[in-house]
Amino acid sequence: MNAGADLTLIRERKPLVHQITNYVVMNETANATLALGALPVMAHALQEVEEMATAASALVLNIGTLSDAWVESMVLAGLAANRAGVPVVLDPVGAGATTYRTETSRRLLAELRIAVVRGNSAEIATLAGRSAQIRGVEAVGEAGGPELAREAARELGAVVAVTGPVDHVSDGSTVHGVANGHELLGTVTGTGCMSTAITGCFLGVRGDDPLAAATEALVAFGVAGEDAAKKAKGPGSFHVALYDALYDLDPKKLDSRAKLS
Amino acid sequence: MNAGADLTLIRERKPLVHQITNYVVMNETANATLALGALPVMAHALQEVEEMATAASALVLNIGTLSDAWVESMVLAGLAANRAGVPVVLDPVGAGATTYRTETSRRLLAELRIAVVRGNSAEIATLAGRSAQIRGVEAVGEAGGPELAREAARELGAVVAVTGPVDHVSDGSTVHGVANGHELLGTVTGTGCMSTAITGCFLGVRGDDPLAAATEALVAFGVAGEDAAKKAKGPGSFHVALYDALYDLDPKKLDSRAKLS
Amino acid sequence: MNAGADLTLIRERKPLVHQITNYVVMNETANATLALGALPVMAHALQEVEEMATAASALVLNIGTLSDAWVESMVLAGLAANRAGVPVVLDPVGAGATTYRTETSRRLLAELRIAVVRGNSAEIATLAGRSAQIRGVEAVGEAGGPELAREAARELGAVVAVTGPVDHVSDGSTVHGVANGHELLGTVTGTGCMSTAITGCFLGVRGDDPLAAATEALVAFGVAGEDAAKKAKGPGSFHVALYDALYDLDPKKLDSRAKLS
């Protein structure tokens, strides 16, 4: 893992990160992507998703406000990304909250080769076949812990990142804990979706090592959250400071600030 | 009316507020909901709205960027909410501006049991069968006054909240005036929609008394607006400060700051 | 050209600017429109776009997240605007990045009478039949220069505004260069879309002279960007300050601050 070096690569190469995501956070994930140093593009039409995904360095699929036409686009884009060797990260927003979300997440996992799944403990537990409590898109109750990440990774055949007070990232054998972040992240909608978009940015330069990419992304996003919290008086000012902090992330200090376990 | 106690309940219970709303303000109403202390969830697919609305503590329907598929989802979600005893608040954005918006608002009012309708004076006057002037989604001309709220509540069979420089909330007999707020609220898009979402939050803990819930919501939102204005240099900084202010609302001081008539 | 006087007109008349735009920037372009002093309205349903466009003072078409239903709405709205003498500005977001975007832009230009096309150098070069490099929705490589604007204006039969470090606006004979702006504009998503919305605002009071309207809009937006940059610590705080700056634009100083060539 070398978060600083990969952040530098992102800023040099500006990987194009194609995002088919939910209406609530489109502006936010685009701005987080741009602030970090990569290039976001949103496109969901059946006529263009294959072309766009093929041209991209990473594809982000997020089911936060799904509907049938969008799911078809996600499948088409994902298949094109798979053919082109473009890594795919999935954010199964609200899996467990409704049957439709659970089944759509399972379908995407079945039909596509997913590099990383990033979700909260309830979403990941649902997909791993464990019992979970979710209210809307918010996990309720105990955090997942390293075992959830490891088991889900084995079950789903993908690197799994379970975010919470401490994040856990696993490829089914190794588990990285990331304790960076700040509780204000939970007061702004879409910060989970942003962390998925940032994972896409790191996958855009480290598609060969999704475990490293996902871990580095959570370190970078968590450190930015820590920096933003210092300037914040509440959710609104934190949200604004978060983009400034992503933009200001210092690659030279990133690895020394990582709180890994 | 006890705005402070109900705000405390919101923060303790974190009611899930299911919102089927317009593309322009989704992020904003989600963040306002979260900053106040409730849990937002956006879901519009026909396959899941009934499940989500049934699991929610309140349902917000907002026609700001409507289309046929979304209207069908609103009806389905509303019927499910009605069956489950989940209170519904309607924001008839732009009623009067186009025939489609007026007719859709009327249809939702006819097919669903709506607890609260929250709109500007032109939208409410249109639905109450009065003449009104609206440009886009902005009311033009005189404010509604208490009589509009009272008559509309009788006509529509719901609590009606007419917002403006002074808000008026009525169940058809009692009328509460709420003079909290700040003119900067008019410089940010979606603040009306946010006040509807906040109404949903209060309905989520006071579904038994929609007149109180709607009035308390406008007090809370207005007080937050006043606090935000103190930190603002214009619409952008006001918008940011508004989330901080919602998050910082002090339940112990809320009722004493209410400007009721 | 008289940017100050036309800004004053905007604030007096509050032209209604109907925007059929992309999901990513809807909130942002609505807020920019409102901060400047005009009235935004978003509406895309086939049932209402003709009514709304006819009632508006300008129509903004932006293909940033297009799909078939939205394209049909744009055509319907555009035809209604043309019949009613309402000026239309087109933002061909991502033309050149996918075939679908290029062809949709061409279709809108063929079927509608477009007053102004506002895009980056790659989008405009693509539509003018030149070779161009675009990654996602970002122009790569050399800026367009005055010749691109002039030639594209002739080719497309519309005023063309090519934005970049220096903007160039042309009606096919005259070319105005606008050097206002700040590099932080490139770190926030949707600032190009905002400049198109602002163009719509100026067209709403200067539909008789689209070359002047487009140039004035870029002066106003660029000056606001300069003001915002003074308060900004990064993309997030710049974004916020941009709305404050649009709101604070001083009509009396606007023309003297224009960096025209």
Over chain A, what is the mean pLDDT?
96
Q: What is the pLDDT of residues C110-154, one digit of tens each?
A: 999 999 999 999 999 999 999 888 888 888 876 678 999 999 999
Interface test with C, best of B21, B22, B24, B25 (most C CBs within 10 A): B24
Comparing CB atoms, the residue among C27, C48, C69 nearest residue B24 is C27
- The pLDDT of residue C142 is 67
**For residues B118 and B215, what is the distance between their CA atoms, to the nearest angstrom?**
11
Sign of CA dihedral B167, B170, B172, B174: negative
Query: Model ipTM?
Result: 0.96
What is the enclosing helix (H) or strand (E) of A231?
Answer: helix A210-231
**For residues B116 and B93, what is the distance between their CA atoms, to the nearest angstrom?**
14
User: How sure is the predictor about A68, in pLDDT bands with cuts at 50, 70 and 90?
Assistant: very high
Comparing CB atoms, the residue among B34, B51, B247 nearest residue A189 is B34
- The pLDDT of residue B143 is 64
| A244 touches C at CB < 8 Å | yes
**For residues B137 and C48, what is the distance between their CA atoms, to the nearest angstrom?**
13
Per-residue model confidence as pLDDT tens for chain B (261 residues): 799 999 999 999 999 999 999 999 999 999 999 999 999 999 999 999 999 999 999 999 999 999 999 999 999 999 999 999 999 999 999 999 999 999 999 999 999 999 999 999 999 999 999 988 888 888 887 667 899 999 999 999 999 999 999 999 999 999 999 999 999 999 999 999 999 999 999 999 999 999 999 999 999 999 999 999 999 999 999 999 999 999 999 999 999 999 999
Q: What is the pLDDT of residues B158-168, one digit of tens each?
A: 999 999 999 99
Is residue A220 within 8 A of residue A36, CB to CB? The reply is yes
Q: What is the pLDDT of residues C161-191, one digit of tens each?
A: 999 999 999 999 999 999 999 999 999 999 9
Is residue A95 within 8 A of residue A125, CB to CB? The reply is no
| B23 touches C at CB < 8 Å | yes
Nearest to B150 by CA among B142, B138, B140, B158: B158
Shortest CA gap C89–chain A (Å):
21
The neighbour count for residue B110, using CB atoms within 10 Å, is 10
Shortest CA gap C53–chain A (Å):
24
Find all residues with CB under 8 Å of A60, minimum gap 6, and list them: A17, A18, A19, A20, A21, A29, A88, A89, A91, A196, A197, A199, A200
Is residue A60 within 8 A of residue A91, CB to CB? The reply is yes
Q: What is the pLDDT of residues A99-152, one digit of tens each?
A: 999 999 999 999 999 999 999 999 999 999 998 888 888 888 766 789 999 999
The neighbour count for residue B47, using CB atoms within 10 Å, is 18
- The pLDDT of residue A133 is 86
| A224 touches C at CB < 8 Å | no
CA-based nearest residue in chain C for residue B237: C240
CB distance B189–C30 less than 8 Å?
yes
The neighbour count for residue A107, using CB atoms within 10 Å, is 13
Q: What is the pLDDT of residues A4-31, one digit of tens each?
A: 999 999 999 999 999 999 999 999 999 9
**Residues 153-182 (A) with a CB less than 8 A from some CB of B:** none
CB distance A52–C98 less than 8 Å?
yes
**Residues 26-45 (A) with a CB less than 8 A from some CB of C:** 26-27, 30-31, 34-35, 39-45
Is residue B160 within 8 A of residue B149, CB to CB? The reply is yes
Nearest to C121 by CA among C150, C97, C148: C148
CB distance B27–A239 less than 8 Å?
no
| B72 touches C at CB < 8 Å | no
CB distance A248–C235 less than 8 Å?
no
- The pLDDT of residue A142 is 67
User: DSSP of chain C, one letter per residue?
Assistant: --HHHHHHHHHHH--EEEEE--TTTHHHHHHHHHHHT-EEEE---TTTHHHHHHHSSEEEEE-TT--HHHHHHHHHHHHHHHHHT--EEEE-TTBTTBHHHHHHHHHHHHHS--SEEEEEHHHHHHHTT----EETTEE-SS--HHHHHHHHHHHHTSEEEEESSSEEEESSS-EEEE----GGGGGSTTHHHHHHHHHHHHHHHHTT-HHHHHHHHHHHHHHHHHHHHHH-SSHHHHHHHHHHHHHH--HHHHHHH--B-
Interface test with C, best of A244, A249, A250 (most C CBs within 10 A): A244
Structure tokens at B124: 């409410």
Above 80 in pLDDT, residue C75? yes
What is the layout of strands, in order, in the sheet containing C167-170? C39-42, C16-20, C58-62, C88-91, C116-120, C159-163, C167-170, C175-178
* Alpha carbon distance, N-terminus to C-terminus of chain B: 13
- The pLDDT of residue A192 is 98
CB distance A188–B69 less than 8 Å?
no
- The pLDDT of residue C141 is 72
Q: What is the mean pLDDT of residues C64-83?
A: 97
Q: Chain C partners of B25 at a C-beta cutoff of 8 Å? A: 27
Token pair 């936010």 in the structure block, residue: A28
Query: Rounded to whole angstroms, what are the CA distances from B244 to A30, A234, C223?
Result: 23, 4, 29
Shortest CA gap B233–chain C (Å):
6
Interface test with B, best of A22, A23, A25, A99 (most B CBs within 10 A): A23
| A65 touches B at CB < 8 Å | yes
Interface test with C, best of B98, B105, B242 (most C CBs within 10 A): B98
User: How sure is the predictor about C24, in pLDDT bands with cuts at 50, 70 and 90?
Assistant: very high
Nearest to B78 by CA among B112, B110, B107, B44: B112
B76 three-state secondary structure: helix
Is residue A122 within 8 A of residue A133, CB to CB? The reply is yes
Shortest CA gap B37–chain A (Å):
9
Is residue C27 within 8 A of residue B27, CB to CB? The reply is yes
The residues with which C120 forms a beta bridge, in sequence order, are C163
Residue type at position C237: S
Shortest CA gap C136–chain A (Å):
5
CB distance A236–B242 less than 8 Å?
yes
Q: Chain B partners of A25 at a C-beta cutoff of 8 Å? A: 27
Comparing CB atoms, the residue among C14, C35, C55 nearest residue B235 is C35
- The pLDDT of residue B133 is 85
- The pLDDT of residue C183 is 97
B72 three-state secondary structure: helix
CB distance B27–A22 less than 8 Å?
no
| C25 touches A at CB < 8 Å | yes
Structure tokens at A155: 């079950």
Sign of CA dihedral C165, A17, C68, C22: negative
Is residue C201 within 8 A of residue C36, CB to CB? The reply is yes
Quote the crossing angle between the two packed helices B235-248 and B210-231, to the nearest 10°: 130
CA angle C9, C15, C16 (to 5 degrees): 170
Nearest to A240 by CA among A231, A252, A251: A231
Is residue B260 within 8 A of residue B254, CB to CB? The reply is no
Chains B and C: how many Cβ contacts under 8 Å? 98
How far, in whole angstroms, is CA B174 from its chain's centroid? Answer: 19
Residue type at position A200: G
| A25 touches B at CB < 8 Å | yes
CB distance B23–C23 less than 8 Å?
yes
CA-based nearest residue in chain B for residue C49: B98
Residue type at position A254: L
Stated pTM of the model: 0.97
Is residue A195 within 8 A of residue A3, CB to CB? The reply is no
Q: Chain C partners of B101 at a C-beta cutoff of 8 Å? A: 48
User: How sure is the predictor about C35, in pLDDT bands with cuts at 50, 70 and 90?
Assistant: very high
User: How sure is the predictor about A50, in pLDDT bands with cuts at 50, 70 and 90?
Assistant: very high
CB distance C243–B233 less than 8 Å?
no
Sign of CA dihedral A138, A143, A149, A150: negative
Structure tokens at B131: 């003449």
Residue A39 phi, psi (nearest 5): -115, 120
- The pLDDT of residue A145 is 85
Is residue B53 within 8 A of residue B20, CB to CB? The reply is no
Interface test with B, best of C240, C242, C248, C250 (most B CBs within 10 A): C240
